[in-house]
Amino acid sequence: MEKNKTLYLHIGIEKTGTSAIQYHLYANRELLKNHDIYYPETGLWHDKSHHGFAFALFEIGAWGVNQPKEAMLKDLIDEYHASDCNNIIISSEILRSFYKNKNAKWFFEEIKAVVNEIKIIVYLRRQDKWLASLYNQNIKDPVTKYSNSFESFVEKMHDEGDYSKLIEGWGTILNKEDLIIKLYNDKKVDNRQFVADFIYDLTQSEAVFESFLWRDDPVNLSLNDFQLELIRYLNEYKSLSLEQRRDINNFIVQKFRLEESSKLPPIQHISQNILDRYKESNSRLASDLGLSELW
């Protein structure tokens, strides 16, 4: 009897351990392949995510990704067939909003001719913690080079924090039972255990960890408050090139390690306002998941 063929699409969201998951999926590609899970090279980005594949699907043409979506998908399918695995996983948080894109229907129709099942894996994080961490990332990133206040960032990202709307959106493309929704708990996150849980959910095997390659240091290090304010100030200088920003940011991250400093912007003064803003959305999603509350 032929085994079920499944595509797992890990869509983040951002700042829910995606970098750690992507790093370990790539570092253990051959091991996972032996457990019938394939992490493809097609569309692979420098950080071991599949952002290149996501850019092709969105037809963004960003950062040198000029391959047409049809060619990228053909390469992916050919690689998948050559792997002899039944399960394939693509990971890119850029795909979190793909359900709204004009190419979504095309992609899922094409891929359904290759696999029997499509599963969307999405992690959700309490909005105030998520926004603080994402703000940190947007300041650190030499591409986004964000320089405004945290309050301004919260307003800018208003719609992105509506998780109920996100899940409902994906429900218009796929069946609700095809959505694997996980809650990222800041109080209980241990990097190794977090990745282990993700891998176990895919393989359903403890044996995979007998020779698993681990990286214990943070994959995507957050800025402490001193680094945050220094880089945010420098981001106002628009004349700096991308390479200059990258070099300066790396220098600041390496040379100004103040362990006692907070690694998130101070959010206590608006944390409750953020949670109140999404209270109705969170209650609706909690009810759909059979929970009394999300966090």
Structure confidence by residue, pLDDT tens digits, 182-209: 999 887 667 788 999 999 999 999 999 9
Distance, CA of 116 to chain centre:
24
**Identity at 190, one-letter amino acid code:** D
- Edge-to-edge strand ranges of the sheet holding 6-10: 37-38, 87-91, 6-10, 117-125, 179-184
Give the pLDDT confidence score for residue 217 in this predicted structure.
Answer: 77
Give the pLDDT confidence score for residue 189 in this predicted structure.
Answer: 67
pLDDT band, residue 254 (cuts 50/70/90): confident
Of 157, 159, 166, which is closest to residue 138 (Cα–Cα)? 157
Q: Residue 254: what are its φ and ψ, rounded to 5°?
A: -80, -35
| Pick from 79-93, 216-230, 277-291: least confident | 216-230
- Position 246 in a domain: yes
Of 86, 84, 79, 10, which is closest to residue 50 (Cα–Cα)? 10
Q: How far apart are CA 58 and CA 60, in angstroms?
A: 5
**Identity at 273, one-letter amino acid code:** N
121 and 240 assigned to the same domain:
no
pLDDT band, residue 2 (cuts 50/70/90): low
- Position 91 in a domain: yes
* Proportion of the chain above pLDDT 90, given as a percent: 80
Q: How far apart are CA 25 and CA 195, in angstroms?
A: 9
139 and 10 assigned to the same domain:
no
Q: With contact defined as beta carbons under 8 Å apart, do 232 and 245 qualify?
A: no
Strands 117-125 and 179-184: parallel
Q: How far apart are CA 224 and CA 13, in angstroms?
A: 22
- Position 235 in a domain: yes
215 and 227 assigned to the same domain:
no
Maximum CA extent, the chain = 62
Of 256, 285, 14, which is closest to residue 135 (Cα–Cα)? 14
Q: How far apart are CA 217 and CA 202, in angstroms?
A: 23
Contacts of 143 (CB under 8 A, 6+ apart): 242
Q: What is the CATH number of the domain that holds 79?
A: 3.40.50
13 and 55 assigned to the same domain:
yes
Give the pLDDT confidence score for residue 257 in this predicted structure.
Answer: 72
Structural domain count of the chain: 2
> Taking 90 as the threshold, does the pLDDT of residue 256 lie above it?
no
Give the pLDDT confidence score for residue 90 in this predicted structure.
Answer: 98
- Position 273 in a domain: yes
Residue range 41-56: mean pLDDT, rounded:
95
Contacts of 77 (CB under 8 A, 6+ apart): 111, 114
Burial class of residue 1 (count of CB atoms within 10 Å of its CB; 0-12, 13-18, 19+): exposed
- Position 79 in a domain: yes
Domain that holds residue 21: 1-125+160-219
pLDDT averaged over the chain?
Answer: 92
164 and 229 assigned to the same domain:
no
- Position 239 in a domain: yes
Give the pLDDT confidence score for residue 226 in this predicted structure.
Answer: 86
96 and 200 assigned to the same domain:
yes
28 and 41 assigned to the same domain:
yes
pLDDT band, residue 289 (cuts 50/70/90): very high
180 and 259 assigned to the same domain:
no
Q: How far apart are CA 129 and CA 117, in angstroms?
A: 33
pLDDT band, residue 264 (cuts 50/70/90): low
> Taking 80 as the threshold, does the pLDDT of residue 260 lie above it?
no
165 and 149 assigned to the same domain:
no
Distance, CA of 72 to chain centre:
20
Q: How far apart are the first and last CA of the chain?
A: 42
> Taking 80 as the threshold, does the pLDDT of residue 216 lie above it?
no
pLDDT digits (tens, 9 = 90+) for 66-101: 889 999 999 999 999 999 999 999 999 999 999 999
Give the pLDDT confidence score for residue 263 in this predicted structure.
Answer: 56
- Position 244 in a domain: yes
Half-sphere exposure of 201 (CA within 13 A, CB side): 18
138 and 39 assigned to the same domain:
no
Is the pTM here over 0.75, yes or no?
A: yes
Of 190, 174, 263, 186, which is closest to residue 223 (Cα–Cα)? 263
Residue 84 is classified by DSSP as T
Q: With contact defined as beta carbons under 8 Å apart, do 53 and 92 qualify?
A: yes
89 and 230 assigned to the same domain:
no
Of 39, 23, 22, 21, which is closest to residue 80 (Cα–Cα)? 39
47 and 181 assigned to the same domain:
yes
- Position 199 in a domain: yes
